[in-house]
């Protein structure tokens, strides 16, 4: 492979990695063509080769074709978390957890830095540090659950119960499927509710969302976090970190962890004692806390 081909292939992978949502082949080609140094013929040839060697794959959802990274082989998301298709058998080593995930339309397939960073945050909080932050009845809320990958990983890392919410019915359907193939349907409730419809408080909250949404949902997240509860948020660009920290760290939360990959970042906070937020009288899962 010559230097030009390597540069083009790397740029294709970079665009797919950096895209917040799935990208169509046409949008990818237009993006590359706008950079002028790549010809249409070179772009088509490069994409064809990347699909042929299994690096990329075409997927079709509801009549729209997308191009994305292939997950036909296991992918290590973090030191202890491995993502794989359900039909692939692998042996896990001690302290490794395997997340089975069906390819689907929902965001959160392990092919985006924000997903990998969020999983790294889970591993930090729930790994060797877990005894500091969770207990054997801990319950989490995954806001914008997408494929359900974060909730499933958290459950396998030690969280007892999880609630995943997403306003996209396609994501809800896929998250339920993924809960089932991981044997977690009894511990992972998936709902099409918005966060306003959730009236419980949680020990643990994950939110892989973009910066404006994380800012907008601050009061909702505060109200649904128990004292001492943990929040892991991802989907943040590195130049947005200071504003996120100013919003969350100023009065109600303490910053405890962060990690960066390329231009993306993930952060974790712990709610300070005495910041109870709004009091809720109704619970999705009151039986869990009896």
CATH number reported for the structural domain that contains residue 146 in this entry: 3.40.50.150
Report which of residues 94 and 233 the model is more confident about.
233
- Using CA atoms, how far residue 145 sits from 12, 89, 100, in Å, is 27, 25, 15
Answer yes or no: do 125 and 261 share one domain. yes
Average pLDDT over the chain reads: 85
Question: What's the number of domains the chain is made of?
Answer: 2
Query: Using one digit for the tens of pLDDT, what is the confidence trace for 213-258?
Result: 999 999 999 999 999 999 999 999 999 999 999 999 888 999 999 9
Answer yes or no: do 285 and 153 share one domain. yes
234 neighbors 208 (Cβ within 8 angstroms)? yes
Query: Using one digit for the tens of pLDDT, what is the confidence trace for 32-85?
Result: 888 878 888 888 898 888 888 777 888 776 678 888 877 677 888 898 999 988
What residues have CB less than 8 Å from 48, skipping those under 6 apart?
A: none
- Domain at 64, CATH number: 1.10.10.10
Residue 122 CA to residue 133 CA, distance in Å, equals: 11
235 neighbors 214 (Cβ within 8 angstroms)? yes
Answer yes or no: do 184 and 147 share one domain. yes
Q: Considering the entire predicted model, what is its pTM?
A: 0.76
Which domain, by its residues, includes 133? 75-289
Answer yes or no: do 65 and 81 share one domain. no
Answer yes or no: do 125 and 23 share one domain. no
Last residue of one domain, picked from the residues 44, 69, 94: 69
Answer yes or no: do 65 and 40 share one domain. yes
Last residue of one domain, picked from the residues 41, 69, 97: 69
Query: Using one digit for the tens of pLDDT, what is the confidence trace for 259-278?
Result: 999 889 999 999 998 644 44
192 neighbors 172 (Cβ within 8 angstroms)? yes
Answer yes or no: do 192 and 64 share one domain. no
Answer yes or no: do 96 and 59 share one domain. no
Answer yes or no: do 109 and 242 share one domain. yes
Residue 154 CA to residue 165 CA, distance in Å, equals: 15
Last residue of one domain, picked from the residues 52, 69, 86: 69
Answer yes or no: do 85 and 186 share one domain. yes
Answer yes or no: do 103 and 64 share one domain. no
Answer yes or no: do 28 and 106 share one domain. no
What does the pLDDT read at residue 290?
41
What does the pLDDT read at residue 121?
95
């Amino acid at each position: 492979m010559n230097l030009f081909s390597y540069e083009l292939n790397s740029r294709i992978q970079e665009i797919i990695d950096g895209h917040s949502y799935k990208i169509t082949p046409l949008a990818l080609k237009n993006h590359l063509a706008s950079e002028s140094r790549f010809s249409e013929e070179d772009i088509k040839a490069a994409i064809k080769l990347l699909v042929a060697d299994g690096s990329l794959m075409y997927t079709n959802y509801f009549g729209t074709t997308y191009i994305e990274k292939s997950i036909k082989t296991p992918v290590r998301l973090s030191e202890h978390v491995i993502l794989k298709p359900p039909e692939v058998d692998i042996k896990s080593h001690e302290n490794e957890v395997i997340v089975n995930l069906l390819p689907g339309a929902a965001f959160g397939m392990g092919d985006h830095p924000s997903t990998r960073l969020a999983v790294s945050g889970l591993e930090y909080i729930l790994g060797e540090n877990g005894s500091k932050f969770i207990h054997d009845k801990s319950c989490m809320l995954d806001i914008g659950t997408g494929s359900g990958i974060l909730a499933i990983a958290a459950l396998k890392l030690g969280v007892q119960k999880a609630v995943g919410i997403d306003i996209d019915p396609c994501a809800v359907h896929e998250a339920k499927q993924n809960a089932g193939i991981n044997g977690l349907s009894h511990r992972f409730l998936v709902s099409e509710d918005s966060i306003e419809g959730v009236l419980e408080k949680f020990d643990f909250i994950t939110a892989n969302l973009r910066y404006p949404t994380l800012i907008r949902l601050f009061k909702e997240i505060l109200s649904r976090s128990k004292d001492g509860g943990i929040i892991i948020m991802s989907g943040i660009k590195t130049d947005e970190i200071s504003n996120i920290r100013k919003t969350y760290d100023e009065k109600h939360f303490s910053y405890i962890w962060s990690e960066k990959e390329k231009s993306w970042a993930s952060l974790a906070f712990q709610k300070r004692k005495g910041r109870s937020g709004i009091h809720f009288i109704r619970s999705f899962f009151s039986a869990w806390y009896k």
